[in-house]
Amino acid sequence: MSTIIITGASKGIGKATAAMFIEAGHDVYNISRTACDLADINNVAIDLASSEAESPVSQFVNDIEAGQIHLIHNAARLTSESVRDIEIDAFRSTIDINIVAPQVLNRALLPKMQAGSSIIYIGSTLSEKAVANSYSYVVTKHAMIGMMRATCQDLAGSGIHTTCVCPGFTNTEMLRAHVGESQEVLDSIAGGSTFGRLIEPDEIAGTIVFATENAVLNGAVIHANLGQIES
């Protein structure tokens, strides 16, 4: 049995991933401001966007036993803004949750992570491309691939592997809120994949579980997007 630590596992991809690991008998922790309602999950209430997150993270890690640990950086903030109008405080806030928080957890947990552990970054189809009016999300998801590649190099010889899973447009609360719950917009987005539909959270969860189990993927970017139609 491994220890699974997932940020933002209260809904969407994070919750689906937690459910798969729980079903497989692992010890699963959700680090989030919002509790997950899955049975047998361990909820850890930490605001990862806070500049004070290091202290509660350290307290949490003190209670984690060293061993095979899979750390999944799933929590993210997606807002609507452009390079012309984004407020600097809002930009910093997105950087804090999408980029700084993963490093806070990396630094705290790596001393407990033994060979066979993994660090899985959850990027996005927008980690290597861009759309208008998602400026801070696009910037930070691009940065996440850089974090994964740097992690791979820095952990060489440790037996710990890392991968960046980049979901395509997935049927989550975050996506629906981002488009204002417009079914017309969701249908248009779905038409951008070669399957003509949105991805389901369970499909991404299965990809994440696969990434934790396969060290051969160390340093890899996995595009889990149903095949995007390129214009």
Residues facing residue 3 across a β-bridge:
27, 69
Q: How far apart are CA 66 and CA 217, in angstroms?
A: 23
In which band, very low, low, confident or very high, does the pLDDT at 228 lie, cut at 50, 70 and 90?
A: confident
Q: Kindly state the tokens that stand for 164.
A: 């960046």
Spatial strand order in the sheet of 69-73: 42-45, 27-32, 3-7, 69-73, 118-122, 161-167, 220-224
Residue type, 219: G
What integer best gives the mean pLDDT of the chain?
93
Give the residue-averaged pLDDT of 100-114.
Answer: 97
Share of the chain above pLDDT 70, in %: 98
Domain containing residue 198: CATH number: 3.40.50.720
In which band, very low, low, confident or very high, does the pLDDT at 133 lie, cut at 50, 70 and 90?
A: very high
Give the residue-averaged pLDDT of 160-183.
Answer: 82
Domain assignment present for 231:
no
Give the residue-averaged pLDDT of 197-226.
Answer: 95
Domain assignment present for 183:
yes
Instruction: Provide the residue range defining the domain that includes 193.
Output: 3-224
Give the residue-averaged pLDDT of 152-180.
Answer: 87
In which band, very low, low, confident or very high, does the pLDDT at 179 lie, cut at 50, 70 and 90?
A: low
Domain assignment present for 229:
no
Domain assignment present for 98:
yes
Share of the chain above pLDDT 90, in %: 79
Domain assignment present for 230:
no
Domain assignment present for 37:
yes
Contact status, residue 49 vs residue 96, Cβ threshold 8 Å = yes
Q: How many domains does the chain have?
A: 1
In this predicted model, which residue has the larger pLDDT, 9 or 198? 9
Whole-prediction pTM: 0.93
> Does the structure show a pLDDT above 70 at 178?
no
Domain assignment present for 88:
yes
Q: Kindly state the tokens that stand for 87.
A: 């407020």
Residue type, 109: L
> Does the structure show a pLDDT above 70 at 27?
yes
* pLDDT for res 217: 98
Give the residue-averaged pLDDT of 39-68.
Answer: 94
* pLDDT for res 110: 98
Q: How far apart are CA 17 and CA 19, in angstroms?
A: 5
Give the residue-averaged pLDDT of 63-89.
Answer: 95
In which band, very low, low, confident or very high, does the pLDDT at 220 lie, cut at 50, 70 and 90?
A: very high
Domain assignment present for 28:
yes
